[in-house]
Homo-oligomer: A and B are copies of this chain.
Amino acid sequence: MTQPTRKDEVAADAPVSEDATLTFIGRIETPWPRREDCPRRGRLDGPECTLIVDPPWDRALEGIEGFEGLDILYWLHQSRRDLLIQNPAHADRVRGTFALRSPIRPNPIGLSRVRLVRRAGNRLVVRGLDCVDGTPLLDIKPETCPAAGA
């Protein structure tokens, strides 16, 4: 599948290899139905979004209420994966993919550090995300290691 590139962009010749598999643990509800509606990056004072964690993984949320800062990983399912050099609309020159936080990358995993607003069962309401509504959820990590006794 060869997709068009913008001026001066460079794509890899070969398809990406398949070395490991991911499982979707849930999905994310956001106010942005299309990719072009999304902010370039989430803000901690941005709108509320909801992480919905499917069974059996919802049980793994036990104790999450004790953390305010969470690192969220999600799968940027609409992204192509082959670009090495990109020409982002917002930038004044081309850059390597690893010098950008663009969703286009060999492993299109999104990462946002968010603030937990509240939990309701298998739903976590957070602020700080930037992804399209319906994005598959991969992981939730506390920003800090829990202290012994905490």
Contact = CB atoms under 8 A, between A and B. Distances in A.
Contacts of A2: none
Copy count, this protein chain: 2
Contacts of A59: 10, 84-85, 96
A41 B144 CA distance: 10
A25 B148 contact: no
Given A17-B23, A109-B138, A109-B139, A66 B146 contact: no
A70 B64 CA distance: 26
18 contacts: A14-B56, A17-B24, A18-B21, A18-B22, A18-B23, A19-B23, A57-B84, A57-B97, A59-B84, A59-B85, A60-B83, A61-B96, A73-B73, A73-B111, A92-B148, A99-B142, A100-B141, A109-B139
Given A10-B59, A57-B84, A98-B64, A145 B24 contact: no
A101 interface: yes
Closest 5 pairs (CB-CB, A-B): A62-B96, A63-B99, A60-B97, A16-B23, A18-B21
Interface in A12-38: 12-14, 16-25
